Amino acid sequence: MERNNHPRGTRNSRREKKKRVFSKKLAFASILTISIILICGGVYATYAMQHKPKEASELEDNSDFEQKEAALLTKIRDSQKQEELESTEQEKTEGNIQTLTYEPAASDSIPQLEAIKTELATLMTATEKDSSKKTAIKLVGHIKMLKINDQVIGYQPVVDTYTWDYNDEDWSEKTEMGKNTAFVNQKTKQPLTLQDIFMSEANILAVQQVIEQTLLSESSDGNAIIDSILNMPEISLDGTAFTYYSDKISLGLPENPTGKTEITLPYKDIAGYINPEFVDPTAIQGALPEPLDPNKKYISLTFDDGPNPETTPRLLDILKEKGVKATFFMLGQNVVKHEALVKRVAEEGHEVASHSYSHPQLTSVDAQRVKDEVQKTDKAIYHAIGKLPTDFRPPYGAVNKEVAKIIGKPIIQWSVDSQDWQSHNAQAIIKRIDETAYNDTIVLMHDIHPETVDAVAAVIDCLRNEGYEILPSKELLGKKAKPLHMYYGSKDERPVQ
């Protein structure tokens, strides 16, 4: 084995040499790093000095700021002068924030002015609190007039915030609208009411039907809550909270199983029950069918007391073959027994309506019995087709105002009686309708009689030969029949007495 014969002194010399080289490199790296830091720091300092936000005190000597401030104030004041709502200005300045508040000069023109002013003041205070104290700010509070149409004017609190941007050297703008708008009936100069919009108890009852169906449709299990929905207290013209919009309305709801405290209905969904003068016309455009052609003849075929598993299917086959849609006023007790048949009636485009549950004369029973007859049928039909019936035909046509109020649906009577219930003869039925039919009328028949079904094809042919177009009763009445009213045809509407 060879030995390492290098003396120890030589190894130490090499080690010292390496240390000196490393020290030089470390010193050079340190100097380089410090130099880079100094250079970057200098660049940043120069940039920061050039872009340093000016304090408000520095703006006093900034002629460009002063010119743009003057131009902004001129723009704000000119804009207010051009508003239809004449106003007076109140100005105050605290620190960097200048506040301009505009209040209507004619305070008596806005009955809710104090409430609007309170909301405007609250909005101004909140905006000022959230604003920066280190820059120039203009807060402009005013009440904006919104002209919905000739009958409705709205007044809404608005706050415009103008903030001076030091980098762009100009004003940025942000607008915040108040949550509440006060609407005024231009006829009465009073706050807008549900009476203005819906006009009558009959119309608000019709809206109640829409609310019930909407709540059921939005529920995951309508059948589980239908009793509570049908027994929910009615909304009223004078006791219901509401929020008005030009294209819809939000109505406060009584306690109900859905937990909803209000419901919003587009006007197009309730177009037949509102005063069009108080809504945006575009909101209900096309919502109702075109009026019937005055140069044409119309008639409606209606069938009572079904459905009947022996006769109703055959009737549906005939109607389908002839391309006719009719209205079926069904008994709840028969609906429960023949749900599939009820579903077929609806699926084939016919109207499913109510004729009570067991066919009593409703004017001769107590109020609770009337309510039960109506609600049990509503539930049966809803269970069958997922929709509540909207129209009602009282057995024997017997109804008075008290009964009509409990029913809460349009009362569809008839003007042409086929007397099929009396004759039980197909030819007699055909002859009777042919001799008594006239324009815009409703024909009464019963789909539980075989002879009626035997006569229907010929009845349809005779009516068409005489120039009639056959419509379901809802379409004949323009989809705007309302509770507390009876309908014998499209031109024969009578309040229930």
Place of tokens 């009876």: 486
Place of tokens 């004449």: 86
Of 338, 355, 446, 449, the catalytic one is 446
Q: Give dist(CA 267, CA 382) in Å, integer.
A: 24
CA angle 113, 117, 118 (to 5 degrees): 120
Q: Give dist(CA 105, CA 152) in Å, integer.
A: 20
Q: Give dist(CA 475, CA 349) in Å, integer.
A: 12
In our burial notation (b when 16+ CB lie closer than 10 A, e otherwise), range 234-249 reads: ebebeebebebbbebb
383 annotated active-site? no
Helix residue ranges, H only, 270-425: 312-322, 332-337, 339-347, 367-385, 401-407, 420-423
Place of tokens 């604003």: 131
Whole-angstrom CA distances from 107 to 4, 85, 155, 158 are: 112, 10, 12, 17
Residue 25 has φ and ψ, to the nearest 5°, of -65, -40
142 annotated active-site? no
Nearest to 342 by CA among 329, 360, 357: 329
Of 196, 304, 447, 454, the catalytic one is 304
Q: Give dist(CA 216, CA 209) in Å, integer.
A: 11
- Work out the burial of residue 404: count CB atoms within 10 Å of its CB; fewer than 13 is exposed, 13-18 middle, 19 or more buried: buried
Annotated catalytic residues are 304, 446
